[in-house]
């Protein structure tokens, strides 16, 4: 019996040894010569849109990234806003960025958007976890290490945009859909 348990343990350890290490991805933006490191998995938040249809949702994909511009480092949170709802009623908001409010364990973190999307974040190459839908809006939010640490350590996270909803409608906040804490922690550990 002991020999069988030992063989099972060895097989399990061998299987674990073959798992790929997850680590932030890095790429060089050839247009700007800026190196970008991005989380290996995004944090996705969603809000139900039962006011429109069953199983309809608006999504917010968040991906933390670090930019290295000739040794000058900065952090950003890239936010992709998208929906499964018909584009005519999706409520994606204007292409003008709005303040993003992240509520981490009851603490409001208000992120002001960058006035324009950095060119390293433009495009549909999938490296910044762009959603695979026809229409989405992308904004970048400069962020500091302390705020990312708060997000990574949070137990409960939800988000909303500080903007007026059409017709004064009350739309619920975005809530956890796919957790991104571990990926965020891996990015922070390597920086």
Q: What is the pLDDT of residues 150-178, one digit of tens each?
A: 999 999 999 999 876 666 667 789 999 99
Mean model confidence pLDDT for the chain: 84
Question: Cα–Cα distances in Å, from 64 out to 51, 68, 71?
Answer: 31, 14, 18
Residues with Cβ within 8 Å of residue 14, at least 6 apart in sequence: none
Where is pLDDT greater, at 119 or 90? 119
| Statement: the pTM of the whole predicted model exceeds 0.85 | no
Percent of all residues in the chain with a pLDDT value above 90, rounded to a whole number: 56
């Amino acid at each position: 019996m002991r020999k069988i348990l030992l063989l099972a343990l060895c097989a399990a350890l061998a299987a674990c040894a073959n798992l790929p290490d997850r680590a932030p991805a890095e790429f060089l933006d050839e247009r700007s010569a800026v190196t970008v490191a991005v989380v290996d998995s995004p944090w996705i938040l969603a809000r139900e849109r039962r006011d429109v249809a069953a199983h309809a949702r608006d999504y917010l994909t968040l991906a933390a990234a670090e930019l290295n511009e000739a040794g000058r480092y900065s952090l950003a949170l890239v936010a992709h806003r998208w929906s499964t709802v018909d584009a005519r009623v999706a409520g994606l908001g204007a292409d003008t960025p709005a303040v993003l409010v992240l509520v981490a364990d009851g603490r409001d973190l208000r992120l002001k958007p960058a006035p324009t999307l950095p060119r390293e974040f433009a495009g549909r190459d999938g490296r910044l976890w762009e959603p695979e839908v026809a229409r989405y809006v992308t904004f970048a939010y400069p962020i500091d290490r302390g705020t990312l640490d708060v997000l990574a350590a949070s137990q409960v996270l939800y988000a909303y945009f500080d903007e007026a909803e059409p017709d004064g409608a009350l739309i619920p906040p975005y809530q956890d859909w796919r957790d991104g804490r571990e990926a965020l922690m891996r990015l922070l550990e390597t920086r």
